[in-house]
Structure 1
Amino acid sequence: MKLGISPNLQTGMFATFLKSKINCEIVFMPVSKLSEAVRNRELDLALIPPLDLHNGGDFCVSGNLGIVSDGAFSNNFLYFKPGEQTVPKITLKGDLSFHDITLLRIVFRELYGIDPETEQYEGDIGKVNNLLVAGDDNYLTGRFELGMNIVEEAVECLNFPLISYILVSSVEETLEAVHRKVRELNDSLYEFGSDYISTTGVSERTLEYLSENLHHLSFELNDEIIEALKSLISTPYYFNLTEDIPEFTLV
């Protein structure tokens, strides 16, 4: 069984603990390629950001397992140019997908009533005013303390827990097989999470911060989280960012 992830601290930890229970092969891919790989049956399972369901495809979504954070753990941080009064443009750096950009637009509409233009980072940091960085660079450099935490802001704006990643498959039976073997994953998270984080190369200060905030992270879903997931997936439609609300099969 192949599990696809875009590697970062959260997905790597989830995949490591899941592999210890179902002995799957972990495949690294850019986040924007994961949905297509599941559709084409190149992957049996994948952790994808939930708003990427808007990219199309007939997906089965686990109702038991995923990654939920209320803000302490985030993959995206925005660094503003000092003294900037307006934010007409944001430069994007790292492994981003439709989910990340859409969530950013929703946050800015809610907070500032604007829809900033976005552009890809091309390597010249001197030309960048406002930079959105995706991935572990935020934690490895320690800069996350200086940036706007997009997950935290989204939770405040939307008033429900944010599901960062959902576990999907093209085959319902695949998820059912996982559910039979994996009843709980949070036990591993809270028992071994600090040990895992210590292997990622973060500083002692960052390790202490993340370890103290492990309780803000969950690898299990419940009825409240499922309702929040449905609300999140419909949000781009109500902001006129998509033309419809994607359907999916909850397993």
Structure 2
Amino acid sequence: MNIILPDNIFSRIISSCLSAEQLKQISFLPSSQITQSIINVDSSVGLIPVMDLLTHKDLFVSSKLGISFEGTLCNSYLYYQGEQRSVEKLTLYGDISSQEAVLSRILFKEMYGSDIQIEITTHLNKQESRNLLIAGDENFVKVRLSKGISFAESMIETFSFPFVNYVFASKEKEVLGNFIKEIKNIDSLVYNKVEKGNFDKKISQASEEYIKSNISSLVLKFDDQDVEGINQILRLPYFHGIVTDIVEIKYI
């Protein structure tokens, strides 16, 4: 089995709680590349952005485990420059995937009633003057998130359903089912790991403390509300005219 995860703080914590044998099977990729990888490689399971399911409807998806956020702690943060009511352009930076590209447009349409211009950048200036949405570790390296607004919290406040960021998926039902059984207790293992501290070397100590203090915002074991959150978030692009069909998910 191949286990493909996004290279961010949350999936690294998950990986650190897996067995020695599973660790040999793990590879980390940018979020935008994981779905194509599990399609190309047999016996693969990936932790993929929910919005990737818009264009990959044949994948099997776990209804039991993934990554969902309920509060200020999340993988993406908004950073505003100047007056928030007059945002016309948003720059995306970091580990950007379909999740940020699609949902940022929808969120700002709901918040401001107008279409904003989206651009992606690979470089930030020291004196940054753009409105930003940053995804991934860049938020945690220098505690940048202390000046940001949780994207998950903004989505929850606007649409009133859980913000599911990543789901475990595979093109092979049996492979996914077996993997989920193997990691069925991953949530308690992750929470215990975070509680002990010193769980990641790539982020600052202050960010570790922030994650530890807000770990209750991280949901790994899904309930019915989270599954409904997946369904609802995938309907948003249809209601906003981005896609022409409502996606039916193949849950296991």
SS in 2 for 1:163: strand
Task: After TM superposition, give the deviation of residue 224 of structure 1 in Å.
Answer: 2.0
Unaligned 5+ segments in structure 2 are: none
- Aligned counterparts, 1:31-110, within 5 A: 31-41=31-41, 44-83=44-83, 86-110=86-110
The match for 1:119 is: 119
Is 1:249 equivalent to 2:247 in the alignment? no
- Counterparts of 2:95 and 2:208 in 1: how far apart (Å)? 23
The match for 2:7 is: 7
CA distances 1:137-174 after superposition (whole Å, capped 9, x unpaired): 11111121111211110011110111111000010001
Task: After TM superposition, give the deviation of residue 74 of structure 1 in Å.
Answer: 1.5
- Counterparts of 2:130 and 2:43 in 1: how far apart (Å)? 38
TM-score normalised by L of structure 1: 0.90
- Counterparts of 2:209 and 2:160 in 1: how far apart (Å)? 28
Q: Is the 8 A contact 2:71 2:150 kept in 1?
A: yes
- Counterparts of 1:120 and 1:222 in 2: how far apart (Å)? 34
TM-score normalised by L of structure 2: 0.90
Is 1:162 equivalent to 2:166 in the alignment? no
Q: Is the 8 A contact 2:13 2:199 kept in 1?
A: no
The farther-off stretch of 142-151 and 10-19 is 10-19
Q: Give the % identical residues.
A: 27
- Counterparts of 1:186 and 1:113 in 2: how far apart (Å)? 38
Change (3 A) 1:112 1:25: same
CA distances 1:226-248 after superposition (whole Å, capped 9, x unpaired): 12211111121112222222233
Q: Is the 8 A contact 2:74 2:218 kept in 1?
A: no
CA distances 1:162-190 after superposition (whole Å, capped 9, x unpaired): 11110000100012212332332211022
The farther-off stretch of 117-126 and 171-180 is 117-126
Q: Is the 8 A contact 1:72 1:210 kept in 2?
A: no
Give structure 1 regions of 4+ aligned residues with deviation exceeding 6 angstroms.
none
CA distances 1:44-83 after superposition (whole Å, capped 9, x unpaired): 0100111111123510001111111112322211212235
Letter aligned with residue 15 of structure 1? S
